[in-house]
Amino acid sequence: MTTSDTTSGAVTGENLDKLNSNLRKVEELTQRLTQVMTHRSTHNAALDGPNQELFGKAASAYWHEALRDPAKVLEHQLQFWSKSVTHFVEAQQALASGKLKAPDDPGPKDRRFANPLWDTHPYFNYVKQQYLINADAVMQAVDDVTDLDPKEKQRLGYFSRQILDMMSPTNFLATNPDALEKAVETEGQSLIDGLENLIGDLEANNGELIVRLADETAFELGQNIATTPGKVVYRNRMMELIQYTPTTDKVHKTPIVLFPPWINKFYILDLKQQNSLVKWIVDQGYTLFVVSWVNPDGAYADVGLEDYIEDGYLTAINEAKAITAEKQVNAIGYCIAGTTLALTLSLLKQRKDKSVKSATFFTALTDFGDQGEFSPFLTDDFIDGIEAECADKGILPSVIMARTFTFLRANDLVYTPAIKSYMMGQTPPAFDLLYWNGDGANLPEKMAMQYLRGLCQRNELADGGFELMGHKLTLSDLDVPVCAIACETDHIAPWVNCYRGVQQFGSKDRTFIKTQSGHIAGIVNPPSKNKYGHYTNDDLTLDPDAWSETAEFHEGSWWPRWGAWLKNRAGAKVDARIPGDSAHPVLCDAPGTYVTVKAKT
């Protein structure tokens, strides 16, 4: 390499060429950034955070507390001042000693501050420690607020944590040693690459900043993801129905119809052969049908839950019955599709239709009395913002939902990936689960508001009945054999709430399984991994705490246990069925065409 002329300060040779090249890239990227931000799609401002009323109430409550118990507030203030001053003095003493060394840091470890410089370098250590002191003081202030409605206090705590997470020194170049080291190591190329990644993400989402979590070029549906062989045997405006190719000579008489959530794509259950629940079910000797939902645009604005039930659930069940010449199916519903399966089962009960032999629910909420971590997003100001957004676009755009879900785990799903991508210029990993996570779908306006207002906010299904299709649908109508699987650390559908819903089912045959891990990993838990265990307890009269305390723990996946439960309700063995029939010609290979449609606003 040609060296620079260090005596004159002039830069020559390759270094000058690289500098000029990077400067040209910065100019080009600046133009792209200006272009995308000029033409960015807008959304209702209410979706960006709580209205000022929440913070106004919090401030009023805090000062009321100060007047009522000034000693308590002063004590906490003095603790904060004392910690800050002591911290400053320790830093000064460390510098005055002549050794470039930080004070000893015996505090708890935080994954954000894994770089050794956070503990050894006085500058970074001071920044880190003061940030943690400030964060503790803020959360202490939130805890001190007593004269505030519990739900409002929960929101205050959530959004306070969001602000603190956003203000972490790791999120800024000048106070992130990893990013600074990378910039020096690459002669600034990492910053250029990071800017390209940032603009690329903005362009991909019409100016909305959604951090790309996976390398989208690494996967192709039907090639290295969603590869279980099958055929699309039916299609309408709401869904494609996939019948999977048998892998056994004999199959159980009663077919399975699986309804995945329509917030994301169905192939979470068919990522790759090693962890595909779809493949595992087929290999156990079942005729499996899976619904692949349409990704709606503004033309679907008036589509409601009744359309998902009529043109989705009931149609899929009827077509599966016709293809297999059977009178009944075993149904599965995952997440929101499980909630809607409950609505469908109540409807079928009232219609005296016995098409469903048994029902399995994966992490499905049917009692929305306690929304847990989602509570901050279910107050009127936020839902009013969603309603206005839906009215404007005819859909609830997938980017709005993606942003909401990811900020529930902001450090893991927003800031850490953003640091790696935008500050350090790294390419997102080729991770199938994260690829699926970014492949979202829109929700129709009518359906979104029915779900958010009627089910989530008013909890009508569990509290008096949900009016739909000329019926009042209730949980007590569900009288078919039921197996419900919920996940121990699920922040989307907390297991306690799933359990409370199952307790209200009218069925005498109820099985409840609590699996370790969360909303996805708890369900996509193949036996071959032997990773997460599960809990069982036949006494569903117990409250959730008592059920959990007396439950029996089992090593390994819940799949085989559920498989044994299903086998007893699946009928005798018959010859394996080839997908389709004369009335249902094959339309295309799995995974079909609907699944490939990207969300559009």
Q: Which residues are catalytic?
A: 335
Of 494, 423, 438, give the one whose Cα is nearest residue 189.
Answer: 423
d(CA 479, CA 472): 16
In which residue are the tokens 């199938």 written?
432
Among positive and negative, which fits the CA dihedral 216, 221, 227, 228? positive
Q: Where are the alpha helices (DSSP H) in 219-354?
A: 277-283, 305-307, 315-324, 336-350
- Residue 342 near residue 366 (C-beta atoms within 8 A): yes
Q: What is the DSSP string of 192-229?
A: HHHHHHHHHHHHHTTT------S-GGG--BTTTBS-S-
| First-to-final CA distance of the chain | 49
Q: Which residue type occupies 249?
A: D
- Residue 241 near residue 289 (C-beta atoms within 8 A): yes
d(CA 571, CA 25): 65
Q: Which residue type occupies 316?
A: A
Query: What tokens does 6 get?
Result: 């260090």
Displacement of CA 428 from its chain's centroid (Å): 18
Torsion angle (degrees, nearest 10) of CA 126, 129, 135, 138: -80
Q: What angle do CA 190, 437, 182 make, to 5 degrees?
A: 15
Of 308, 283, 306, give the one whose Cα is nearest residue 563.
Answer: 283
- Residue 363 near residue 487 (C-beta atoms within 8 A): yes
- Residue 536 near residue 561 (C-beta atoms within 8 A): yes
Of 523, 456, 461, give the one whose Cα is nearest residue 486.
Answer: 523
In which residue are the tokens 């080839």 written?
578
DSSP structure class, residue 428? P
